[in-house]
Amino acid sequence: MPELPDVTVYIEALRERIVDHELKRVFVKGPFLLRSVAPPLSASFGKKVTEVRRIGKQIAIGLEGEVNLVLHLMIAGRLHWKTSAVKVGGRNALATFQFDNGTLLLTEAGTQRRAALRVVEGEAGLETLNAGGVEPLDCDLAAFAAALRAENHTLKRSLTDPHIFSGIGNAYSDEILHRAQLSPIAMTSKLSDEEIARLFEATRASLIEWTDRLREQSHGEFPEGVTAFRPEMAVHGRYGQPCPRCGAKVQRIRYAANETNYCAPCQTGGRLLADRALSRLMHEDWPKTLEELEAMKKERKDAV
């Protein structure tokens, strides 16, 4: 799912291309894409774009007359800018936004259609789509700490909850926690002031660094190849590969369609966190340390 750095670079690219330009028409192919009824989508036709901004992980395109198109790309939604004629063809194409100077194409890979387009009116309409989380790059340490301590959750859950922090998801939360050298399952109520300060700095540094990196990688062109898995990442999507800080193998916790990646020596004092699927199966045989895990793997290999 595109998160704060990815969405920021998308927005910067869109501002350069569509602000002060007329949206002529929108063609929607995906039957489940449009999630609102009033105002109608046609209310946006023939109007100039006045602004483009981020609301959490959503992209809001503001038009004349206080009409806003709000795109939530979810996991697999992606945007593409075309200056030549575009038809809504191909199974991944969901919609085209035809401007007077080009076309914005929305695609979504896979069979599950989760991307969403909503048409809302004015600031009040936009506010209904705002989960209310603190903006991590706009708040100070005190506001960050207050949001973190408002409820007692694991750090992973708190960082990815849009009601607590805006724009952070599965990928960058892994990177933030690795930089802060904190366990993803540490409870927020038990964090010291020093640990919260470390997490605050790691959050800001990670998001700024990745925004700058993605901005540089796009070379002024419209960003393509947006993905949650990048080879430069420290731990996210790098299960079994060496941690860039200590060299130990990156571990994971799998749940539903997601997984949390972490380095045991750097973040949990060397302790392996229970993978829900495997630990249920193995019970007391689940290894507690990297050494036990490697010994278990060696025993299985020798047995074969």
Tell me: pLDDT of 281 over 90: no
Give pLDDT, residue 292: 55
Burial bucket for residue 124 (CB in 10 Å: 0-12, 13-18, 19+): exposed
d(CA 63, CA 68): 6
Higher pLDDT, 211 or 301: 211
d(CA 42, CA 46): 9
Per DSSP, what are the bridge partners of residue 103? 82, 98
Give pLDDT, residue 282: 39
Give pLDDT, residue 87: 74
Among 161-165, 229-233, 234-238, 293-297, whose mean pLDDT is lowest?
Answer: 293-297
d(CA 16, CA 35): 27
Q: Residue-wise over 126-143: b if at least 16 C-beta within 10 A, else e? A: beebeeebbebeebeeee
Tell me: pLDDT of 242 over 50: yes
Give pLDDT, residue 89: 72
Tell me: pLDDT of 129 over 70: yes
CATH class of 141-267: mainly alpha
Q: Round the average pLDDT of the chain to a whole number and report it.
A: 91
Give pLDDT, residue 90: 76
Give pLDDT, residue 31: 82
Give pLDDT, residue 294: 55
Range 251-258 contact pairs with CB under 8 angstroms and sequence separation of 24 or more? 251/290, 253/184, 253/185, 258/170
d(CA 41, CA 67): 9
Instruction: Give per-residue pLDDT as tens, 189-216.
Output: 999 999 999 999 999 999 999 999 999 9
Mean pLDDT of 116-129: 97
Give pLDDT, residue 146: 98
**CATH fold of 4-127, please?**
N-terminal domain of MutM-like DNA repair proteins (3.20.190)
Tell me: pLDDT of 247 over 50: yes
Token readout for 141 is 């340490």
Of residues 1, 135, 117, the one with CA closest to residue 60: 117
Tell me: pLDDT of 300 over 90: no
Amino acid at 131: A
Mean pLDDT of 300-304: 51
Asked if 119 and 41 touch (Cβ cutoff 8 Å), the reply is: yes
Give pLDDT, residue 290: 59
pTM value? Answer: 0.90
The segment(s) of the chain belonging to CATH 3.20.190.10 are 4-127
Give pLDDT, residue 301: 55
Tell me: pLDDT of 299 over 60: no
Q: Residue-wise over 17-49: b if at least 16 C-beta within 10 A, else e? A: bbeeebbeebebbbeebbebeebebebbeeebb
Among 109-113, 170-174, 289-293, whose mean pLDDT is lowest?
Answer: 289-293
Instruction: Give per-residue pLDDT as tens, 46-103.
Output: 999 999 999 999 999 999 999 999 999 999 999 999 998 777 777 889 999 999 999 9
Give pLDDT, residue 225: 86
Asked if 177 and 251 touch (Cβ cutoff 8 Å), the reply is: no
**Strand residues in the chain grouped as ranges (E):** 22-28, 47-55, 58-63, 67-72, 77-82, 93-99, 102-108, 116-121, 251-255, 258-262
Tell me: pLDDT of 304 over 60: no
Mean pLDDT of 264-272: 96
Give pLDDT, residue 1: 82
Token readout for 115 is 């991307």
Burial bucket for residue 63 (CB in 10 Å: 0-12, 13-18, 19+): buried
Tell me: pLDDT of 280 over 50: no
Mean pLDDT of 210-235: 94
